[in-house]
């Protein structure tokens, strides 16, 4: 039986309909582009996360921390390509690195001069990584790490967590995905160690790996408590399972990722996004005794191929980005600034008495339309989804670009004036929409 809408929800629905009408009126060229795209792609889409109802905007240009859409509107980019765009658009150092690669040729079918230097920089940066291999995406990196764990342990089951996202075939938000890789999953509750230990107890001898994001990005920037991660480290030690930290997003939150910040080392770590200079990239690495199983000089070596694993564009851009731009000092500065911004945004919500909060760590944050503590997907689901959609349309209309699900990721191209604009837009939303919060 359908729930009876409350007066507040009726009002929110009317406000949302009005906001969507304004969105349609302002973006006729994006709508036409969407209709044209639907003729060749299902729903005009080849990347589910960027679809927006009633239709997505088409972005045609980016520079620094700015984006422009097909209808000529300018936005401050607070999405930063879902954390991959940490350098902003066309950073000159990244551009020079790519130009240098283009000048020397693209596809060698061989080792190149930079891959070992890039690998060494990654090993030096992330404390759990003694040896590393490259892939083309974070999804591939997680697929290889999980597959390696199953092969090394001779076991079949993988402990994952509700709300987790580890790429296109490891989707555990909401009701999950019918397209997930066909492994045997145990689906635990994030940030509830006692429940996880009880849940795993009957499967201890079958557990190959524990796969976790130290902060769940896609589900709303929900940070794992250090005690929870420490408990999982102990559980892995006790059962003989391998602990895998998916730091594809969270590696940006401290010079050596959240593993460094918490002082808890996994057996394997997966990377992606910004580490490749914003290019297509993934990596998995960890303890030498595990990663040496991929040494092709061994007669029993694991096979791991990939035409573009060491492509020269990513090798050049990644090395420049990690060693010349996003240095440890720059990482600390960006994330300290992100903490200050999140405090300012939460102060706006508190000043207006709204059931609204911004979660996250450092340079990643997300908005939730609830004032209840958020420690897991279950908590996040108590937020008012209609208000969050209204927040999206209101801020896009004010020139702020971010994910409709409420996620923000900072780039080094943003400055204090940009942060002031975001805070001002949230202040406008709070003042205008406060009556809808009930």
Active site residues: 165, 246, 273
Residue 243 to residue 261: CA distance in whole angstroms: 17
Count Cβ neighbours within 10 Å for each residue of 155-166 and write b for 16 or more, e otherwise.
bebbbbbbbbbb
Query: What SS3 class is residue 89?
Result: strand
Residue 291 near residue 285, CB atoms below 8 Å: yes
Alpha helices for 250-291 (secondary structure H) = 257-262, 288-291
Length of the chain measured in residues: 438
Place of tokens 């979660």: 359
Report the C-alpha gap between 275 and 87 in whole angstroms.
10
Residue 316 and residue 100 in contact, taking contact as beta carbons nearer than 8 Å: yes
Spatial distance between the Cα atoms of 214 and 245, rounded to a whole number of angstroms: 7
Whether residue 393 contacts residue 23, with contact meaning beta carbons closer than 8 Å, is answered with: yes
Residues contacting 313, CB < 8 A, separation 6+:
98, 101, 102, 106, 279
Site of tokens 């342990």: 153
Q: How far apart are CA 364 and CA 366, in angstroms?
A: 7
Beta strand residue intervals within 109-206, DSSP E:
131-135, 157-161, 184-188
Can you tell me which residue has the tokens 């092969």? 151
Q: Which two tokens stand for residue 257?
A: 């990722």
310 close to 136: Cβ distance less than 8 angstroms = no
């Amino acid at each position: 039986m359908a729930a009876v809408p409350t007066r507040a929800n009726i009002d929110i629905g009317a406000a949302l309909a009005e906001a969507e009408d304004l969105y349609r009126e302002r973006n006729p060229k994006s709508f036409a582009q969407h209709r044209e795209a639907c003729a060749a792609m299902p729903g005009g889409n080849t990347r589910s996360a960027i679809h927006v109802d009633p239709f997505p905007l088409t972005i045609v240009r980016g520079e620094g921390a700015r984006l422009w859409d097909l209808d000529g509107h300018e936005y401050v980019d607070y999405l930063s390509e879902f954390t991959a765009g940490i350098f902003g658009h066309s950073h000159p150092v990244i551009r020079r690195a790519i130009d240098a690669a283009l000048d020397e040729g693209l596809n060698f079918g061989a080792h190149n001069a930079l891959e070992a230097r890039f690998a060494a920089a990654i090993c030096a940066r992330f404390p759990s990584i003694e040896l590393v291999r490259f892939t083309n995406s974070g999804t591939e990196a997680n697929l290889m790490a999980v597959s390696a764990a199953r092969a090394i342990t001779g076991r079949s089951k993988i402990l994952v967590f509700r709300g987790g996202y580890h790429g296109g075939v490891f989707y555990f938000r909401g009701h999950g995905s019918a397209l997930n890789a066909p492994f045997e999953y145990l689906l635990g509750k994030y940030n509830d160690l006692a429940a996880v230990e009880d849940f795993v107890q009957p499967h201890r001898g079958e557990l190959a790996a524990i796969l976790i994001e130290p902060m769940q990005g896609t589900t709303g920037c929900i940070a794992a408590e250090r005690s929870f991660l420490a408990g999982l480290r102990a559980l892995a030690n006790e059962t003989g399972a391998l602990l895998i930290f998916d730091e594809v997003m969270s590696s940006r939150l401290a010079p050596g990722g959240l593993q460094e910040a918490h002082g808890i080392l996994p057996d394997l770590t997966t990377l992606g996004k910004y580490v490749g200079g914003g290019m297509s990239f993934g990596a998995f690495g960890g303890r030498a005794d595990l990663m040496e199983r991929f040494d092709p000089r061994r007669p029993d070596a694991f096979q791991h191929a990939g035409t573009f694993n060491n492509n020269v564009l990513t090798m050049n851009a990644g090395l420049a980005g990690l060693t010349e731009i996003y240095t440890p000092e720059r990482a600390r500065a960006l994330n300290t600034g992100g903490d200050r911004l999140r405090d300012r945004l939460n102060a706006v919500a508190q000043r207006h008495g709204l059931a609204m909060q911004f979660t996250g760590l450092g340079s990643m944050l997300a908005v939730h339309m609830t004032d209840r503590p958020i420690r897991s997907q279950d908590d996040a689901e108590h937020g008012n989804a209609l208000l969050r959609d209204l927040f999206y349309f209101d801020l896009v209309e004010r020139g702020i670009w971010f994910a409709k699900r409420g996620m923000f990721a900072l780039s080094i191209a943003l400055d204090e004036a940009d942060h002031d604009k975001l805070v001002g837009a949230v202040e406008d939303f709070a003042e205008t929409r406060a009556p809808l919060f009930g």
